[in-house]
Structure 1
């Protein structure tokens, strides 16, 4: 029981030092926006025109010219120290908190998915194994490389459900005089200009847990007849990201190239993917922000007199639904990121749910917004071109093991045990899990637990549901809104009870369950329930704050309405115009240049 009447309410939110930390994050976001420049300026190397030209021509946006000089956009970002966001603070970078990393990266994704993937996601995924298992010398060398403007790429480990686009294999044979590499990877992001590579290579036959190892090597030190880069492959999305191949032919590396121990590859890969599932979806939400802002701008332009307040009711309903979806996504990414600090053990469930739900909700939301744009959706110029590019690139931002299938595969084996031992039984999670600010323990990018011992989201749903059901809390808003909220919360709690009954019947660690459509459907439903729990936790933690929108129930009612509709649960009759209150917030943030997320950061780029 989380918040029974005989148990004290959560401790008040602490603000000591939080305001200064929040100010520093907002200053950094504003600094990055200034660095990116005016998106409407055709002379800006990181403006809308330059980004769309690079995309349409399928050329590198951040590479070098024929003389090896950085392209203008790359030089601007290097001068702004974007690479430091992926380097831990003790090594001279800025990587200290997941929420800070996510919010800064959103500024890049607001402009272009290629920009965000190339500048943050790619280097982060490549560097995580080094931060987790590298020696002090390896970590120092990698940090100096990134902070000095160098580039790092990863030739990743593919599991059995990897796709054919990235499929390829590299074998490594350790010996007394070094490690011999042989094989190829046909799709490595940033391969053409990588100064160093992190390579996942097979060191033992079969698919056992100790079959792969990880190596760090400087490309300039590799002999030209033993190492080759292959031309970039042109894909349908992320066209401004260079995705080329690498090949090794009996290429010998020194023994010091090994990260960790022989056989650590799978553990390091899974740990990196868990970290990525928790943080990458939150970064990609920056593109959803731009998509919603574009739709609001277009609808206002088409409204009588150009007044956004005159947007037709049907379009207002779409805008409200999409904004509520973005807040659901941000609640999940907030909890998943903070869990890496606060609950490293149970964080695997929140990370898997985030990596599974957020891309789906974001994809559906952008498709819904395309209907608001009407025929203009087919334009390739200006804001419309950016909108179309993001919609096309969205599936590739979760390529490989950050994607939905892998997240579901990480979630399904854990659910039966959680259903039996955790759901509706656990005590309260730490309330700091749901805060948008406040202090956090140091981030450990080592090797997180891949199996959860508890489920803080299910515990939050149970406890908050009991509190609302007791009728003792009237601080969240008018009674009519709380009635809606109680009914929606009861529906989600009832769904969790049904899921517990069905999943408890399944054997633990049943590998056949991964291919069972019934179990997959149950996992889908649990993920939506967990998303609702994350939203409830964020609202409950912030209901006494000065943020009148986040503290009020209107956005939460709309968020839970959408999730309950997806679950097929009975929907309560609307007694108050919660959707209109959400629309008013949308228009206020549009005019004040604030972001469409939990933070309401400013400034956001103007349109057109």
Structure 2
């Protein structure tokens, strides 16, 4: 029995995160199982962080991937977001190695009641380590071209082929894979089926690991592969109907891409915290280096990027409860934009560190370098950025057609962090969202709500007027982008269609990809506006006065910024709040999330909550 099984299921995502913080203790304390020093040492030796993984399992992390109806603690998507932030800020090797638990979600999406009950029981007993085996060496992201065979044979299947590169390919206990069950006469989209294989229960044949791959980041992770040689499994291993594999795979990826945002938020926090600590303690030109105007603005901009990324993540998590069927666009938008916000922030902070960024001395700055390498993977896995952008681009005509035809509804549950939500039901995810996106659909209501505001407290008339202008600019930008969709689909006048001929079946116009990129940045701005409008009365003065929001809306592409773009007063305000949270041991967040106390040892396992209601 884990420490979580007997605890009360009535805590918020924030309390849950703070509980895991205490469970781990201060990552700066070397005696703790999961600490920065050992994370660096193990990373240098390409070793899996076994002690940190074992500590996380002791918390009962696996329980948050099993729905409550099946005996687990999965009720709120935000629980997974917050727990992932806690782990990723310490070591991405641990976060990525253990978050493979999310792939059991495919049993809840496509499994029968009998399959769900059996797999839930296995996960809750502990020891289940799944891996996702979709990609093949010769085909990459082109899943429809896979050649791995799953030959039906008398109610069983014979599996043959290799999957690579796979996280936990060698060290997994269960394999979620796509195998070809159809033949040449079967439509490509219906040729593959999905299987969840318990490696300990195969009937015959072999399942072997493919050697690890040296990687730029995540050096402690088991990035390898898995091979099946005439491996016979019972028909119970198949999830969903024959030929439904690709659809199930895409449905699962829409959920996991959304959850990837927690990894970016966790690594982004540590990178900014590490640089902020170093520059605040370093004396240059007769004062703290952090007070140099260029450095101050750099830190302020990095902090602002994290706040916007958090808004996009929180709205997406709430959307998973309320608008689950719309994530064919939304999940891609959230993953891409949050990763871009943190990746750009990381590059800017590296420049701010200067020569120290290039040195590999065994000191705290090394943690920044490790996080820099590790965080880059978020834009690559569960569908790389180009794959996600292509998916958005293909749905742009439907988005343009649907915009403006949404019914008027109450947007409070989506944006008000105190509003209760229904239970998260992953099986409702659909690959056909018909162009609907609740965030964009809510924009007219958000602008009406903004227009009704009066100056108050720190929100003076000047800032309110600026926010009105920027808000209307969001509407104009969205309508202009959607108007460009039809033009981007046409062959330019005077151009011979033969000039665009290609042997590739992937023919998405680059102009549509460009629109998708601009829409992802706009999506994050609308999310930030919505979060601000519905939470001004309870998140404190810094949040309410809107200086951070004005600065975010002033950015062109919200993840990018140039030196000198940020208003000096806004830079001072943002940097001051960042330093306050840094020195008071809080997450870099619009919410108040307390970190483990400096020097705190890992907790002994008493008085920890286990699950969450739906309000923050």
Using the size of structure 2 for normalisation, the TM-score is 0.85
User: 1:456 pairs with 430, 438, 446, which one?
Assistant: 438
Q: Which has the higher contact order (CA 8 A, sep 6+)?
A: 2
2:168–2:222: 8 Å Cα contact kept in structure 1?
Answer: yes
1:294-313 superposed matches below 5 A: 294-303=274-283, 311-313=291-293
* Segment drifting more, 550-559 vs 449-458: 449-458
Alignment deviations for residues 133-189 of structure 1 (CA, whole Å, 9 cap, x no partner): 223332233223333331332343349983599x97421011214111111113222
CA pair 22-377 structure 1, distance change in 2 beyond 3 A: farther
1:154-303 superposed matches below 5 A: 154-158=131-135, 162=140, 169-205=147-183, 208-222=188-202, 225-303=205-283
CA distance in 2, matches of 1:568, 1:577: 16
Q: Which residue of 2 aligns with 1:54?
A: 42
Is 2:19 the partner of 1:41? no
User: 1:409 pairs with 390, 398, 411, which one?
Assistant: 390
Structure 1 residue 225: deviation in Å? 4.9
1:536–1:556: 8 Å Cα contact kept in structure 2?
Answer: yes
Number of paired residues? Answer: 572
CA pair 553-390 structure 1, distance change in 2 beyond 3 A: same
1:477–1:552: 8 Å Cα contact kept in structure 2?
Answer: yes
CA distance in 1, matches of 2:194, 2:77: 24
Is 2:457 the partner of 1:465? no
SS at structure 2 position matched to 1:226: strand
1:518-529 superposed matches below 5 A: 518-529=511-522
1:91–1:140: 8 Å Cα contact kept in structure 2?
Answer: yes
Is 2:91 the partner of 1:112? yes
CA pair 210-514 structure 1, distance change in 2 beyond 3 A: same
CA pair 567-492 structure 1, distance change in 2 beyond 3 A: farther
Q: Which residue of 2 aligns with 1:484?
A: 466
CA pair 305-45 structure 1, distance change in 2 beyond 3 A: farther
Q: Which residue of 1 aligns with 2:610?
A: none
CA distance in 2, matches of 1:73, 1:351: 29
CA pair 162-171 structure 1, distance change in 2 beyond 3 A: same
CA pair 409-201 structure 1, distance change in 2 beyond 3 A: same
CA pair 572-343 structure 1, distance change in 2 beyond 3 A: same
1:282–1:329: 8 Å Cα contact kept in structure 2?
Answer: no
Q: Which residue of 2 aligns with 1:8?
A: none
Q: Which residue of 1 aligns with 2:609?
A: none
CA pair 536-24 structure 1, distance change in 2 beyond 3 A: closer
CA pair 238-462 structure 1, distance change in 2 beyond 3 A: same
Alignment deviations for residues 226-256 of structure 1 (CA, whole Å, 9 cap, x no partner): 3222222222221111122221121111111
Structure 1 residue 477: deviation in Å? 1.1
Q: Which residue of 2 aligns with 1:94?
A: 73
Alignment deviations for residues 254-287 of structure 1 (CA, whole Å, 9 cap, x no partner): 1111112111211111111100122211332111
Where does structure 1 lack aligned partners over 5 or more consecutive residues? 1-19, 63-71
Q: What's the C-alpha RMSD, in Å, of the aligned pairs?
A: 3.2
Q: Which residue of 1 aligns with 2:115?
A: 138
CA pair 370-305 structure 1, distance change in 2 beyond 3 A: same
CA pair 277-437 structure 1, distance change in 2 beyond 3 A: farther
Q: Which residue of 2 aligns with 1:67?
A: none
Is 2:586 the partner of 1:594? yes
SS at structure 2 position matched to 1:198: strand
2:311–2:531: 8 Å Cα contact kept in structure 1?
Answer: yes
CA distance in 1, matches of 2:558, 2:207: 54
1:546-565 superposed matches below 5 A: 546-563=539-556
CA distance in 2, matches of 1:462, 1:409: 27
CA distance in 2, matches of 1:606, 1:24: 23
SS at structure 1 position matched to 2:595: coil
CA distance in 1, matches of 2:54, 2:534: 42
CA distance in 1, matches of 2:474, 2:115: 48
1:26–1:601: 8 Å Cα contact kept in structure 2?
Answer: yes
Q: Which residue of 2 aligns with 1:342?
A: 322
CA distance in 2, matches of 1:83, 1:565: 35
1:412–1:513: 8 Å Cα contact kept in structure 2?
Answer: no
* Segment drifting more, 597-606 vs 334-343: 597-606
Using the size of structure 1 for normalisation, the TM-score is 0.86
Is 2:426 the partner of 1:422? no
SS at structure 2 position matched to 1:27: helix
CA pair 558-607 structure 1, distance change in 2 beyond 3 A: farther
Q: Which residue of 2 aligns with 1:369?
A: 349
Q: Which residue of 1 aligns with 2:55?
A: 76
Where does structure 2 lack aligned partners over 5 or more consecutive residues? 1-7, 491-503, 601-616
CA pair 425-579 structure 1, distance change in 2 beyond 3 A: farther
CA pair 425-189 structure 1, distance change in 2 beyond 3 A: closer
